[in-house]
Amino acid sequence: MTNALPELDLGLVTWLMGELWSEGVHPGAPQVYALLDGARDERIEPMIRTSEAEFICLYAGKLEPALSAAAPYLVHLDPNKPFTGALLDAGWGSNWGYFIVAPADVSLRQLRRHFRTLLKVEDFAGNPLVFRFYDPRVLRTYLPTCLPEERSALFGPCLLFMAETTTAGSLIAYPAVASASAEAGGHVRTLPSLK
């Protein structure tokens, strides 16, 4: 058995890494995390658990295997680790999750604490619902409709969310504070060779 990584789409991976680490990798630089929805693909949880990356499940307590496999996970990414390229290559275009850029002084546990406050919401009748904000399809639908205070509550300490779009080779970057010029509350960026 070999631990070799599959052949990566280096053009896509290089472009995504450039977008995610646009401020570089140095002390004090923003940190990049992936917020992954384990329910999107059975490969996600095993990939995270064998990654050697720092990660944490948003659900609390000891989980049954089926729930653990379908749970949302927050993973700290390092552009110099093989897992990051493998994740970008395997998950991009499949709505596995989205990426979070946070200040250097915000820890994985602080992000988890924040995101756990968003897991449950109530409908107009007061019935509890699970809010699947970690699914990029939900994010792309919900975020452009947010009022400023709702957007602030969703972002918490985060600076930026980046998600794939419905078009191959492009992403949408949502800053914590929306600008009037941003398309649907975000900025669409396209892989240069696809422009």
Say which range, 29-33, 123-127, 135-139, 175-179, has the weakest mean pLDDT.
Answer: 175-179
pLDDT of residue 5 exceeding 50 = no
Q: Are 80 and 32 in contact (CB under 8 A)?
A: no
Distance of alpha carbon 183 from alpha carbon 35, whole angstroms: 23
Report the chain's mean pLDDT, rounded to a whole number.
89
pLDDT for 129: 92
pLDDT of residue 9 exceeding 90 = no
User: In terms of Cα–Cα distance, which of 91, 89, 93, 87 is closest to 167?
Assistant: 93
> What are the strands of the beta sheet with 170-175, ordered from one edge?
55-57, 72-77, 31-37, 97-102, 160-164, 170-175, 187-190
Residue with tokens 């949502």: 174
pLDDT tens-digit profile of 55-95?
999 999 999 999 999 999 999 999 999 999 999 989 998 99
Quickly count: other Cβ atoms within 10 Å of residue 100's Cβ: 27
HSE, side-chain direction, 13 A CA sphere, residue 110: 11
Binned at pLDDT 50, 70 and 90, residue 190 comes out as: confident
Distance of alpha carbon 190 from alpha carbon 82, whole angstroms: 24
pLDDT for 178: 77
pLDDT for 185: 67
Mean pLDDT to the nearest integer, 96-122: 96
Mean pLDDT to the nearest integer, 41-59: 96
Mean pLDDT to the nearest integer, 87-109: 95
Q: How far is CA 34 from the centre of its chain?
A: 4
Distance of alpha carbon 163 from alpha carbon 57, whole angstroms: 20
pLDDT tens-digit profile of 151-178?
999 999 999 999 999 887 889 999 998 7
Mean pLDDT to the nearest integer, 102-130: 95
